[in-house]
Amino acid sequence: MKRKILYAIATFLFQFFSRLNVSGLENVPHRGPAILAVNHLGIIDAPLIFALVPRTDLTALVAKKHLENPFLRIIVNIVGGIWINRDEADSHAMRAAREHLNKGGLLGIAPEGTRSPTGGLNTAKTGVAYLADKAKVPIIPIAISGTFKGLKQALLLKRPTINVHIGKPIILAPFERKHRDVALQQYTDEIMCHIAAMLPPSQRGAYAQHPRTIEILEKQTTIDV
């Protein structure tokens, strides 16, 4: 019941206080395990995804620093959020995330690990690729723009324009364990370059000139033509 109330509130707030444009929502599976890999611009990113995806088994990895905020702590616990220490290899959190996926759940993760201070993509950590490989689940890349200063604008009743583009699932091929670190980095870049290609040029950040981003954009241009 509490989750349904939160979902209704979040949906209303985004519809009323922002101009929301969403594409590719059909790429999120209605059932079964998957990871939602999302770029991170502001504190309203997580509630936004929560409002867009009405699956009752959707949860996310959330930085433990937010435990200090009583309001956020209550909300995260209601939706079954998994608290993670981003300053170290948190094996307990990763194990809990893997168990959630093994049960068929949907898991949201920000590969960058923290909010972007500039609005552009930061260099991502390899945790998402590692988890997807271990749990054998697809990754859904999601690109958000318009939330970098979105909360401030919404509070001033300026209704920020928020764009959410959801890409097609990425299936990671198995790799040889002796090349684990190289493979995880390549897969992480693959995920982030797909996100970058769905963002405006000014937000592509660390992946703006990555060869894979350029390749994806060129393919999109060919298809559009």
Single-letter residue type at 96: A
In sequence order, what DSSP letters do the residues of 59-77 get, joined into one string?
EEEEEGGGGG-HHHHHHHH
For position 174, what pLDDT does the model report?
A: 82
Please tell me the total count of domains within the chain.
Answer: 1
Q: CA–CA separation, 127 vs 137, rounded Å?
A: 14
pLDDT (tens digit per residue) in 71-109: 788 888 888 889 988 777 788 999 999 999 999 999 999
pLDDT (tens digit per residue) in 133-174: 999 999 999 999 988 776 667 666 678 889 999 999 999 888
Domain limits at 185? 2-224
Phi, psi of 167 (to 5 degrees): -85, 175
Q: CA–CA separation, 157 vs 9, rounded Å?
A: 17
Beta bridge partners of 93: none
Compare 40 and 158 and report the one with higher pLDDT.
Answer: 40
Query: Where residue 37 sits, what CATH number does that domain have?
Result: 3.40.1130
Beta strands in 139-178 (DSSP E): 139-145, 161-166
Matching residue, tokens 């552009």 = 120
Q: What is the signed CA dihedral for 143, 145, 151, 152, rounded to 10 degrees? A: 160
